[in-house]
A and B are shown apart, each in its own frame.
Chain A
Protein backbone atom coordinates (compact mmCIF):
# COMPACT_ATOMS: atom_id res chain seq x y z
CA UNK A 1 0.00 0.00 0.00
CA UNK A 2 2.74 2.42 0.92
CA UNK A 3 3.73 3.23 -2.62
CA UNK A 4 6.12 6.14 -2.94
CA UNK A 5 5.60 6.54 -6.64
CA UNK A 6 2.11 7.77 -7.51
CA UNK A 7 0.91 6.09 -10.65
CA UNK A 8 -2.21 5.82 -12.73
CA UNK A 9 -2.27 2.09 -12.12
CA UNK A 10 -4.60 1.50 -9.18
CA UNK A 11 -2.93 0.28 -6.02
CA UNK A 12 -5.37 -2.61 -6.09
CA UNK A 13 -3.53 -4.00 -9.09
CA UNK A 14 -0.23 -3.46 -7.30
CA UNK A 15 -1.56 -5.42 -4.36
CA UNK A 16 -2.61 -8.24 -6.64
CA UNK A 17 0.82 -8.33 -8.31
CA UNK A 18 2.55 -8.34 -4.93
CA UNK A 19 0.26 -11.12 -3.75
CA UNK A 20 1.15 -13.18 -6.80
CA UNK A 21 4.85 -12.51 -6.45
CA UNK A 22 5.06 -13.38 -2.77
CA UNK A 23 3.66 -16.86 -3.45
CA UNK A 24 5.78 -17.60 -6.51
CA UNK A 25 9.32 -16.88 -5.37
CA UNK A 26 11.95 -18.50 -7.53
CA UNK A 27 15.04 -18.90 -5.42
CA UNK A 28 18.68 -18.79 -6.38
CA UNK A 29 20.68 -20.52 -3.63
CA UNK A 30 24.12 -18.90 -3.40
CA UNK A 31 25.33 -21.63 -1.08
CA UNK A 32 28.92 -21.24 0.07
CA UNK A 33 29.11 -22.98 3.42
CA UNK A 34 27.58 -25.37 5.91
CA UNK A 35 24.26 -23.45 6.11
CA UNK A 36 23.46 -25.15 2.81
CA UNK A 37 22.75 -28.33 4.80
CA UNK A 38 19.97 -26.54 6.66
CA UNK A 39 18.78 -25.16 3.36
CA UNK A 40 18.48 -28.71 2.05
CA UNK A 41 16.51 -29.61 5.14
CA UNK A 42 14.25 -26.63 4.57
CA UNK A 43 13.76 -27.68 0.98
CA UNK A 44 13.02 -31.26 1.95
CA UNK A 45 9.70 -32.84 2.64
CA UNK A 46 9.74 -32.46 6.42
CA UNK A 47 9.81 -28.65 6.49
CA UNK A 48 8.74 -28.25 2.89
CA UNK A 49 9.37 -24.73 1.70
CA UNK A 50 7.03 -25.57 -1.18
CA UNK A 51 4.11 -24.70 1.08
CA UNK A 52 5.18 -21.07 0.64
CA UNK A 53 5.53 -21.23 -3.11
CA UNK A 54 9.31 -21.06 -3.09
CA UNK A 55 10.13 -24.67 -3.75
CA UNK A 56 11.88 -24.47 -7.07
CA UNK A 57 15.54 -23.42 -7.04
CA UNK A 58 16.66 -21.93 -10.32
CA UNK A 59 20.38 -22.39 -10.79
CA UNK A 60 20.52 -19.39 -13.06
CA UNK A 61 20.19 -15.90 -11.59
CA UNK A 62 18.38 -14.76 -14.72
CA UNK A 63 15.41 -16.95 -13.83
CA UNK A 64 15.32 -16.16 -10.11
CA UNK A 65 13.84 -13.36 -8.06
CA UNK A 66 14.91 -14.39 -4.55
CA UNK A 67 18.63 -14.59 -3.83
CA UNK A 68 19.39 -16.77 -0.81
CA UNK A 69 22.87 -15.93 0.45
CA UNK A 70 23.66 -19.14 2.32
CA UNK A 71 26.92 -19.08 4.20
CA UNK A 72 30.13 -17.15 4.62
CA UNK A 73 30.99 -14.53 2.01
CA UNK A 74 34.67 -13.76 1.68
CA UNK A 75 36.06 -10.52 0.30
CA UNK A 76 37.23 -12.47 -2.70
CA UNK A 77 33.70 -13.73 -3.42
CA UNK A 78 32.04 -10.34 -3.00
CA UNK A 79 32.35 -9.24 -6.65
CA UNK A 80 30.85 -12.57 -7.73
CA UNK A 81 27.89 -12.15 -5.40
CA UNK A 82 27.39 -8.61 -6.64
CA UNK A 83 27.47 -9.73 -10.24
CA UNK A 84 24.93 -12.47 -9.60
CA UNK A 85 22.65 -9.96 -7.92
CA UNK A 86 23.01 -7.62 -10.90
CA UNK A 87 22.07 -10.42 -13.26
CA UNK A 88 18.75 -11.10 -11.57
CA UNK A 89 15.68 -9.48 -13.17
CA UNK A 90 13.69 -6.91 -11.22
CA UNK A 91 11.91 -6.99 -8.86
CA UNK A 92 14.26 -9.06 -6.72
CA UNK A 93 14.76 -9.84 -3.07
CA UNK A 94 17.65 -11.04 -0.94
CA UNK A 95 17.51 -13.21 2.15
CA UNK A 96 20.68 -13.49 4.25
CA UNK A 97 20.65 -17.09 5.46
CA UNK A 98 22.56 -17.56 8.68
CA UNK A 99 24.71 -15.30 10.78
CA UNK A 100 27.72 -15.31 8.44
CA UNK A 101 25.70 -13.91 5.55
CA UNK A 102 24.09 -11.42 7.92
CA UNK A 103 27.07 -10.02 9.81
CA UNK A 104 30.10 -12.19 9.15
CA UNK A 105 29.29 -14.23 12.24
CA UNK A 106 32.18 -15.34 14.40
CA UNK A 107 34.63 -14.62 11.61
CA UNK A 108 36.24 -11.29 12.32
CA UNK A 109 39.35 -11.40 10.23
CA UNK A 110 41.15 -10.26 7.12
CA UNK A 111 39.23 -12.37 4.66
CA UNK A 112 35.56 -12.62 5.59
CA UNK A 113 33.21 -9.85 4.54
CA UNK A 114 31.12 -8.64 7.51
CA UNK A 115 27.75 -9.42 5.99
CA UNK A 116 26.37 -9.73 2.48
CA UNK A 117 24.77 -6.30 2.89
CA UNK A 118 28.19 -4.75 2.30
CA UNK A 119 27.73 -5.33 -1.43
CA UNK A 120 24.02 -6.02 -2.04
CA UNK A 121 20.86 -4.74 -0.31
CA UNK A 122 19.47 -7.44 1.98
CA UNK A 123 15.75 -7.58 2.74
CA UNK A 124 15.55 -10.22 5.47
CA UNK A 125 18.24 -11.42 7.86
CA UNK A 126 17.86 -14.90 9.34
CA UNK A 127 20.26 -15.34 12.29
CA UNK A 128 21.50 -18.67 13.55
CA UNK A 129 24.58 -20.79 13.12
CA UNK A 130 23.03 -22.46 11.22
CA UNK A 131 19.41 -21.30 11.49
CA UNK A 132 16.80 -23.96 12.07
CA UNK A 133 14.42 -24.56 9.18
CA UNK A 134 11.61 -23.00 11.22
CA UNK A 135 13.63 -19.80 11.40
CA UNK A 136 14.15 -19.84 7.65
CA UNK A 137 10.43 -20.31 7.07
CA UNK A 138 9.77 -17.49 9.51
CA UNK A 139 12.18 -15.32 7.56
CA UNK A 140 10.48 -16.29 4.32
CA UNK A 141 7.11 -15.31 5.78
CA UNK A 142 8.61 -12.00 6.91
CA UNK A 143 9.80 -11.50 3.35
CA UNK A 144 6.34 -12.30 2.05
CA UNK A 145 4.83 -9.65 4.32
CA UNK A 146 7.46 -7.26 3.05
CA UNK A 147 6.64 -8.04 -0.56
CA UNK A 148 2.91 -7.60 0.06
CA UNK A 149 3.53 -4.24 1.72
CA UNK A 150 5.79 -3.22 -1.16
CA UNK A 151 8.74 -2.62 1.14
CA UNK A 152 11.46 -4.66 -0.58
CA UNK A 153 14.59 -2.76 -1.58
CA UNK A 154 14.10 -3.28 -5.29
CA UNK A 155 10.34 -2.58 -5.00
CA UNK A 156 11.03 0.75 -3.32
CA UNK A 157 13.59 1.60 -5.95
CA UNK A 158 11.26 0.69 -8.82
CA UNK A 159 8.13 2.28 -7.41
CA UNK A 160 4.97 0.83 -8.89
CA UNK A 161 6.17 -2.48 -10.31
CA UNK A 162 2.70 -3.22 -11.69
CA UNK A 163 3.08 -0.29 -14.09
CA UNK A 164 6.47 -1.40 -15.37
CA UNK A 165 6.37 -3.68 -18.36
CA UNK A 166 10.00 -3.53 -19.31
CA UNK A 167 12.93 -1.98 -17.58
CA UNK A 168 15.95 -0.85 -19.46
CA UNK A 169 18.81 -2.54 -17.63
CA UNK A 170 21.60 -0.85 -19.51
CA UNK A 171 22.04 1.62 -16.68
CA UNK A 172 23.39 -1.17 -14.50
CA UNK A 173 25.86 0.24 -12.01
CA UNK A 174 29.52 -0.15 -12.77
CA UNK A 175 31.10 -2.15 -9.99
CA UNK A 176 33.37 -0.14 -7.78
CA UNK A 177 36.36 -2.15 -8.94
CA UNK A 178 35.78 -0.40 -12.27
CA UNK A 179 34.26 -3.36 -14.11
CA UNK A 180 30.79 -4.11 -15.38
CA UNK A 181 29.07 -7.08 -16.94
CA UNK A 182 29.55 -5.67 -20.43
CA UNK A 183 33.34 -5.69 -20.28
CA UNK A 184 35.32 -8.44 -21.96
CA UNK A 185 37.19 -10.90 -19.80
CA UNK A 186 40.61 -9.51 -20.66
CA UNK A 187 39.53 -6.08 -19.45
CA UNK A 188 37.75 -7.48 -16.44
CA UNK A 189 40.50 -9.58 -14.95
CA UNK A 190 42.73 -7.95 -12.37
CA UNK A 191 46.28 -7.25 -13.35
CA UNK A 192 48.77 -10.04 -13.06
CA UNK A 193 50.01 -10.03 -9.48
CA UNK A 194 52.76 -12.51 -10.06
CA UNK A 195 55.71 -12.23 -7.73
CA UNK A 196 59.11 -13.63 -8.45
Chain B
Protein backbone atom coordinates (compact mmCIF):
# COMPACT_ATOMS: atom_id res chain seq x y z
CA UNK B 1 0.00 0.00 0.00
CA UNK B 2 2.55 2.50 1.12
CA UNK B 3 5.00 1.80 -1.69
CA UNK B 4 2.29 2.69 -4.12
CA UNK B 5 2.16 6.26 -2.81
CA UNK B 6 5.73 6.89 -3.92
CA UNK B 7 5.07 5.05 -7.19
CA UNK B 8 2.03 7.17 -7.94
CA UNK B 9 4.03 10.30 -7.16
CA UNK B 10 6.82 9.27 -9.48
CA UNK B 11 4.35 8.52 -12.26
CA UNK B 12 2.25 11.65 -11.89
CA UNK B 13 4.77 14.34 -10.93
CA UNK B 14 8.22 13.05 -11.90
CA UNK B 15 9.51 16.59 -12.51
CA UNK B 16 8.87 17.54 -8.86
CA UNK B 17 10.52 14.61 -7.13
CA UNK B 18 14.19 15.07 -6.25
CA UNK B 19 14.60 11.93 -4.22
CA UNK B 20 12.53 9.22 -2.62
CA UNK B 21 13.35 6.87 0.18
CA UNK B 22 11.94 4.39 2.62
CA UNK B 23 13.25 3.66 6.07
CA UNK B 24 11.69 1.34 8.67
CA UNK B 25 8.39 1.55 6.88
CA UNK B 26 8.31 5.33 6.55
CA UNK B 27 8.12 6.65 3.01
CA UNK B 28 9.76 9.95 2.20
CA UNK B 29 9.83 12.14 -0.87
CA UNK B 30 12.07 15.17 -1.27
CA UNK B 31 10.27 17.67 -3.46
CA UNK B 32 11.26 20.78 -5.37
CA UNK B 33 9.93 23.86 -3.63
CA UNK B 34 8.52 25.29 -6.86
CA UNK B 35 6.31 22.20 -7.27
CA UNK B 36 5.54 21.68 -3.59
CA UNK B 37 1.95 22.91 -3.68
CA UNK B 38 1.32 20.87 -6.85
CA UNK B 39 2.50 17.71 -5.10
CA UNK B 40 0.59 18.44 -1.90
CA UNK B 41 -2.57 19.19 -3.86
CA UNK B 42 -2.23 15.90 -5.71
CA UNK B 43 -1.68 14.04 -2.45
CA UNK B 44 -4.78 15.55 -0.93
CA UNK B 45 -7.17 15.59 -3.87
CA UNK B 46 -6.39 12.30 -5.62
CA UNK B 47 -8.88 9.64 -4.45
CA UNK B 48 -6.30 6.87 -4.48
CA UNK B 49 -4.01 8.93 -2.23
CA UNK B 50 -6.52 10.98 -0.22
CA UNK B 51 -4.18 12.45 2.41
CA UNK B 52 -6.91 14.25 4.29
CA UNK B 53 -4.89 14.97 7.42
CA UNK B 54 -1.76 17.03 7.98
CA UNK B 55 -0.37 15.30 11.06
CA UNK B 56 2.58 17.59 11.58
CA UNK B 57 4.65 20.26 9.93
CA UNK B 58 8.15 20.89 11.20
CA UNK B 59 11.53 22.17 10.11
CA UNK B 60 14.94 20.54 10.42
CA UNK B 61 18.03 22.72 10.72
CA UNK B 62 21.06 21.08 9.07
CA UNK B 63 23.56 23.70 10.20
CA UNK B 64 26.62 23.77 7.95
CA UNK B 65 24.92 22.16 4.99
CA UNK B 66 23.55 23.85 1.93
CA UNK B 67 20.59 24.17 1.67
CA UNK B 68 20.34 24.58 5.40
CA UNK B 69 16.68 23.95 6.26
CA UNK B 70 14.26 21.18 5.43
CA UNK B 71 10.52 21.74 5.82
CA UNK B 72 8.85 18.43 6.67
CA UNK B 73 5.17 17.58 6.12
CA UNK B 74 3.81 14.45 7.80
CA UNK B 75 0.67 13.36 6.02
CA UNK B 76 -1.90 10.72 6.91
CA UNK B 77 -4.84 9.33 5.02
CA UNK B 78 -7.79 8.62 7.30
CA UNK B 79 -9.52 6.61 4.56
CA UNK B 80 -6.60 4.52 3.26
CA UNK B 81 -4.70 4.54 6.58
CA UNK B 82 -1.34 5.23 4.95
CA UNK B 83 1.28 7.85 5.66
CA UNK B 84 3.93 9.74 3.75
CA UNK B 85 6.58 12.30 4.60
CA UNK B 86 7.17 15.16 2.20
CA UNK B 87 10.28 17.31 2.49
CA UNK B 88 11.36 20.50 0.78
CA UNK B 89 14.82 22.04 1.06
CA UNK B 90 15.15 25.72 1.82
CA UNK B 91 18.25 27.90 1.76
CA UNK B 92 19.51 30.09 4.57
CA UNK B 93 19.55 33.45 2.76
CA UNK B 94 16.73 35.88 3.50
CA UNK B 95 15.28 35.67 -0.03
CA UNK B 96 15.60 31.87 -0.09
CA UNK B 97 14.20 30.99 3.33
CA UNK B 98 10.56 30.48 2.39
CA UNK B 99 8.05 27.91 1.16
CA UNK B 100 4.53 28.43 -0.12
CA UNK B 101 1.84 28.05 2.51
CA UNK B 102 -0.26 24.90 2.80
CA UNK B 103 -3.14 26.65 4.57
CA UNK B 104 -5.15 26.48 1.35
CA UNK B 105 -5.12 22.68 1.60
CA UNK B 106 -5.19 21.95 5.33
CA UNK B 107 -6.34 24.50 7.87
CA UNK B 108 -4.18 22.63 10.39
CA UNK B 109 -1.17 24.15 8.65
CA UNK B 110 -1.98 27.63 9.91
CA UNK B 111 -0.70 27.29 13.45
CA UNK B 112 1.99 24.77 12.52
CA UNK B 113 3.42 27.24 10.02
CA UNK B 114 3.27 30.01 12.60
CA UNK B 115 5.23 27.78 14.97
CA UNK B 116 7.78 26.91 12.29
CA UNK B 117 8.21 30.60 11.49
CA UNK B 118 8.52 31.45 15.19
CA UNK B 119 11.13 28.86 16.07
CA UNK B 120 13.06 28.45 12.81
CA UNK B 121 12.46 31.62 10.84
CA UNK B 122 11.20 29.93 7.69
CA UNK B 123 8.62 32.15 6.02
CA UNK B 124 5.42 30.73 4.55
CA UNK B 125 4.35 32.81 1.57
CA UNK B 126 0.65 33.49 1.42
CA UNK B 127 -0.02 32.62 5.05
CA UNK B 128 -3.01 34.69 6.21
CA UNK B 129 -1.59 35.60 9.63
CA UNK B 130 2.11 34.82 9.95
CA UNK B 131 3.29 35.99 13.37
CA UNK B 132 4.89 34.42 16.40
CA UNK B 133 2.78 31.85 18.24
CA UNK B 134 4.90 30.58 21.14
CA UNK B 135 7.43 33.33 21.80
CA UNK B 136 6.45 36.88 22.63
CA UNK B 137 6.44 39.54 19.96
CA UNK B 138 9.41 41.39 21.44
CA UNK B 139 11.58 38.27 21.00
CA UNK B 140 14.50 38.66 18.62
CA UNK B 141 15.70 35.72 16.56
CA UNK B 142 14.48 32.16 16.16
CA UNK B 143 15.41 30.02 19.15
CA UNK B 144 15.46 26.52 17.65
CA UNK B 145 18.03 27.44 15.03
CA UNK B 146 21.21 25.61 15.84
CA UNK B 147 23.23 28.84 15.93
CA UNK B 148 20.97 30.53 18.48
CA UNK B 149 23.20 31.08 21.56
CA UNK B 150 22.42 28.53 24.25
CA UNK B 151 22.45 30.84 27.26
CA UNK B 152 20.82 33.88 25.66
CA UNK B 153 17.79 35.09 27.60
CA UNK B 154 15.44 37.84 26.53
CA UNK B 155 13.51 38.76 29.67
CA UNK B 156 10.38 40.88 29.43
CA UNK B 157 10.75 42.15 32.99
CA UNK B 158 13.17 41.76 35.89
CA UNK B 159 13.28 43.03 39.44
CA UNK B 160 15.95 45.71 39.80
CA UNK B 161 17.50 43.65 42.61
CA UNK B 162 16.95 40.26 40.94
CA UNK B 163 19.41 37.51 41.82
CA UNK B 164 21.97 36.74 39.16
CA UNK B 165 20.95 34.16 36.58
CA UNK B 166 23.40 31.66 35.20
CA UNK B 167 24.59 33.70 32.29
CA UNK B 168 24.73 36.81 34.46
CA UNK B 169 26.89 34.83 36.84
CA UNK B 170 29.04 33.72 33.95
CA UNK B 171 29.44 37.29 32.81
CA UNK B 172 30.34 38.44 36.32
CA UNK B 173 32.94 35.71 36.60
CA UNK B 174 34.34 36.59 33.20
CA UNK B 175 34.58 40.25 34.16
CA UNK B 176 36.30 39.48 37.43
CA UNK B 177 38.73 37.28 35.56
CA UNK B 178 39.46 40.13 33.17
CA UNK B 179 40.18 42.42 36.06
CA UNK B 180 42.49 39.89 37.59
CA UNK B 181 44.40 39.59 34.36
CA UNK B 182 44.83 43.35 34.15
Contacts and interface: CB of A to CB of B under 8 A. Distances in A.
Interface of A: 75-76, 78-79, 82, 108-111, 113-115, 117-121, 175-177, 190-196
Contacts of A176: 157-158, 160
Contacts of B166: 108, 114
Contacts of A79: 156-157
Given A110-B143, A176-B158, A195-B131, A190 B163 contact: no
Interface string B121-134: 00100000111101
B153 interface: yes
B159 interface: yes
B157 A78 contact: yes
A interface majority secondary structure: loop
Contacts, number: 71
B137 A192 contact: yes
A190 B137 contact: yes
B155 A118 contact: yes
Nearest to B125: A196
A97 B123 CA distance: 40
B135 interface: yes
A109 to B, nearest CB: 8
B163 A193 contact: no
A82 B157 contact: yes
